[in-house]
Amino acid sequence: MQEQHTDRSEPPRLRLDNITVRFGGLTALDSVSLDIPAGRIIGVMGPNGAGKTTLFNVICGVFPPSGGSLELDGSGFTPKPHRLTRHGVARTLQGLGLFPGLSVRQNVAAGLAATSHRGLGLLALPGAVRDEKRLAVRAMEALDLLGVAAYADALPDTLPYGIRKKVALARALVSEPRLLLLDEPAGGLGHEDIEELANIIRTVPGDGCSVVLVEHHVDLVMAVCDRIAVLDFGRLIAEGTPAEIGADPAVADAYLGVEVA
Ligand SMILES: Nc1ncnc2c1ncn2[C@@H]1O[C@H](COP(=O)(O)OP(=O)(O)OP(=O)(O)O)[C@@H](O)[C@H]1O
């Protein structure tokens, strides 16, 4: 974890301003405002149905908010899922979303294809071949970083879940994003894998990338995040350092359903 040195003159990497999402009569997010500073890891926690996935989906552009706005590095941001990489935003999903027919290396290279001029070398022109080689090299570097380069030629479905999770993370990191969105990365992982995941997440802000970590696993959030936002019934009920969140009675109340005097 890093100390807060937020420069007030710098816009945050991502700003959520009064984000509201309604599904019919249900308010899934209720005027949520949150700043994600550059180079920081921000956790989003909350009990079931609190609005975490909805928040993640709004940032990814899965659907537009019913109200409010987003800013990325000080400019208005209208996210679209297929254009995230061009904005320097990468994400991992709960369902991993790996392509079963592509090798691990090709899956990771696909994370770069959106930034390449020609995609994945669809035409066998010299420039396209050069691009494809460059993508393969970058993919190998990302796999190496996560310690799974040995599986480069394997098909994802033949690999254990923990390895596939790392491949999905390598695919998100290969584009060197300025904002990384992680949706439940600890889901389905054992204790040792979660510790390893924590170490990997901690390294991401090294080059200024911000991380939004939406996660059920409270211990992981507490261990890696610089700051934590807590949602309950679509409202932001607390925001602070892990120590502040750990001591906040409203958070304990939301999680335990215990009436706070
Ligand atoms: N597409 C949708 N249509 C209708 N209601 C929805 C939709 N998506 C989410 N909701 C509702 O919005 C509320 C917030 O859901 P959301 O999935 O964001 O919560 P969550 O904090 O991610 O929950 P969990 O931890 O269980 O995944 C819930 O009441 C949910 O039933």
pLDDT along the chain (261 residues), means of 10: 53 94 95 95 94 94 94 91 87 80 88 56 52 78 87 92 87 88 87 87 85 92 95 95 93 69 39
Ligand 1 center–CA 51 separation, angstroms: 6
| Spatial contact of 220 and 194, defined as CB atoms under 8 Å apart | yes
pLDDT at 92: 84
| Spatial contact of 52 and 231, defined as CB atoms under 8 Å apart | yes
Residue 57 belongs to what H/E stretch? helix 52-60
Pocket test for ligand 1, best of 20, 21, 23 (most atoms within 8 A of CB): 23
pLDDT at 257: 59
Q: Whose CA is nearest to atom 23 of ligand 1?
A: 49
Per the listing, tokens 């990814």 go with 60
pTM of the full predicted structure?
0.85
| Spatial contact of 161 and 145, defined as CB atoms under 8 Å apart | no
Around ligand 1, the residues with Cβ closer than 6 Å are 23, 26, 28, 46, 48-54
pLDDT at 81: 85
For residue 121, the one-letter residue type is G
pLDDT at 30: 96
| Spatial contact of 179 and 36, defined as CB atoms under 8 Å apart | yes
pLDDT at 115: 57
Tokens of 10: 């710098």
DSSP-derived secondary structure for 216-235: S-HHHHHHH-SEEEEEETTE
Ligand 1 center–CA 105 separation, angstroms: 34
Ligand 1 center–CA 142 separation, angstroms: 33
Distance of CA 156 to the CA centre of its chain: 21
pLDDT at 29: 97
Ligand 1 center–CA 245 separation, angstroms: 23
Q: Is the ipTM of this complex over 0.95?
A: yes
pLDDT at 187: 83
Ligand 1 center–CA 55 separation, angstroms: 10
Identify the CA nearest to 111 among candidates 78, 135, 75.
135
E strand intervals along 145-196: 179-183
pLDDT at 259: 46
| Spatial contact of 229 and 220, defined as CB atoms under 8 Å apart | no
Which atom of ligand 1 is nearest the CA belonging to 55?
18
Pocket test for ligand 1, best of 26, 60, 63 (most atoms within 8 A of CB): 26
Domains and CATH numbers, the chain: 1-88+177-261 (3.40.50.300), 101-174 (no CATH)
Looking at the chain, the number of H-run helices and the number of E-run strands are: 8, 10
d(CA 68, CA 142): 36
| Spatial contact of 92 and 99, defined as CB atoms under 8 Å apart | no
Q: What is the CA radius of gyration of the chain?
A: 19
| Spatial contact of 46 and 241, defined as CB atoms under 8 Å apart | no
Q: Whose CA is nearest to atom 7 of ligand 1?
A: 23
